[in-house]
Amino acid sequence: MKNCPSCGHERSQTETRCPVCGAFYPTLAELLAEEEAYELAHSWRGRWQKIWGATDKKQAVSAVIKQFWADLSLQGKFSLLVIFVFVFALIVTVL
Ligand SMILES: [Zn+2]
C-alpha cells in the first residue's frame, strides 16, 4: 500500500502512522489476514466450509448463492444466462 488508507496521503516505508490524519497504517500481518479472510469468503473452499459448518444448512446455502450472485459482474451474469438458455434449448430439442 503506497498511500494512507484513510486520507490518501503518500506514505513512506518507515512510517507506521500517517503524519496528516494520524491513522495507523495496516501492518503486513494485518494485510495478509485481511486477504486471507477475503479469500475465504470468495473462494469455493471457503464457501463450502461456511455451508458445512453452519447449523442451518439451507440458510447457509442461500446466503452463499446470494453472495456469489452479488460478486458476479454483469458480464458474468449474462454468460451464466446464456449457458442456461443453451442447455435448456439442447434439452428441448433432444426431447
Ligand atoms: Zn492519512
Task: Evaluate if residue 9 carries a pLDDT over 80.
Answer: yes
Quote the pLDDT of residue 21. 94
Q: Are 20 and 9 in contact (CB under 8 A)?
A: yes
DSSP state of 17: B
Distance of CA 27 from the midpoint of ligand 1 (Å): 15
Distance of CA 28 from the midpoint of ligand 1 (Å): 17
Distance of CA 37 from the midpoint of ligand 1 (Å): 24
pLDDT in tens, 49-93: 888 899 999 999 998 888 888 888 888 999 999 999 999 999 999
Domain locations in the chain?
A: 1-41, 43-94
Q: Are 18 and 6 in contact (CB under 8 A)?
A: yes
- The CA distance from 48 to 9, in Å, is 39
pLDDT in tens, 15-53: 888 999 998 888 888 888 988 888 888 888 888 888 889
Distance of CA 64 from the midpoint of ligand 1 (Å): 35
Quote the pLDDT of residue 91. 94
Nearest partner of 64 among 83, 45, 77, judged by Cα? 45
Distance of CA 20 from the midpoint of ligand 1 (Å): 5
Task: Evaluate if residue 7 carries a pLDDT over 90.
Answer: yes
Quote the pLDDT of residue 85. 95
Quote the pLDDT of residue 87. 95
Quote the pLDDT of residue 1. 56
